[in-house]
Structure 1
Amino acid sequence: MTEYLIYFNQQWVGDHTEEWFRGRGPLARAVIDDLHAAGQYVFAGGLVEEVEEAFSADATSGTLSFTDGPFTESKEWLGGLTIVDVPDEETARMWAGRIAEACGWPQEVRRFKPRGPSV
């Protein structure tokens, strides 16, 4: 099995009414329920939209520092993600498509690097 990250940037969501968003919730939950039933669910969740609530940890200078706000100034930021553990890319594509249809906005998919042996 291979793990894939299925995610979206908040800016891809678009402007919609509260009623539209309420209608998407049950559709998205149904996909997550199906992922659980298939035994391919690892994690799924949306992130708080207020990017100013983010903070960064940086040790590149040799000293650990924490900074309020996102690490970089960016016009886009992560809105939510799902991690699936599936047998092949075709299955990852299927789940990404189901999530995109349920949510009503695009999803990007990336495969995780294989894990090394546990120590």
Structure 2
Amino acid sequence: MKYIIYFNQEWVGEHSEEWFIERGPLAGAVVEEMKDAGVYVFAAGVEEDLSKAFSADATSGTVVVTEGPYTENREFLGGLTIIDVADDDAAKMWAGKIAEACGWPQEVRQVG
């Protein structure tokens, strides 16, 4: 079963540059552990500059692509990981490892 583990940028909190630098290798180690375990599908941070976002909306019957996020919002996706594991317990375990390495909460949902 595939799961998405993700966080909103607002959940990260305020930290020093040194704090973030220390977290990088920890998060990288969890990604390597996922690869070694054969559960890794994809992981990445999301561009933080909302001016680089664009949106596509076809609800009017015509596709309209606009610059910027779909709606102005304080919360936006900060990063995500996709894993392929046997069950909820395994997904929870990996989410815990990611949360610990990153230093902020993660949400988990089954996909596909």
TM-score for the superposition, normalised by structure 1 = 0.92
Flag structure 2 segments of 5+ consecutive residues without an equivalent.
none
1: CA distance between counterparts of 2:6 and 2:54?
20
**Number of positions where the alignment pairs a residue of Structure 1 with one of Structure 2:** 112
Partner of 1:53: 52
- 2:38 is matched with 39
2:75 alignment partner in structure 1: 76
Alignment partners' CA distance in 2, 1:29 and 1:16: 19
Amino acid in structure 2 at the alignment position of 1:61: S
C-alpha distance in 2, partners of 1:33/1:92? 16
Match of 1:91 in 2: 90
The DSSP-based 3-state class of the residue aligned with 1:43 is strand
* Distance in structure 1 (CA, Å) of the matches to 2:10 and 2:44: 16
How far apart are 1:48 and its partner, in Å?
A: 1.0
Partner in structure 2 of residue 109 of structure 1: 108
Moved over 4 A (4+): none
CA-based RMSD: 0.7
* Structure 1 unmatched runs, 5+: 114-119
TM-score (norm 2): 0.97
C-alpha deviations, 1:7-62, integer Å up to 9, x for none?
Answer: 00001111111110000000000000000001100100001111121100111111
Separation in structure 2 between the aligned mates of residue 19 and residue 39 of structure 1, nearest angstrom: 31
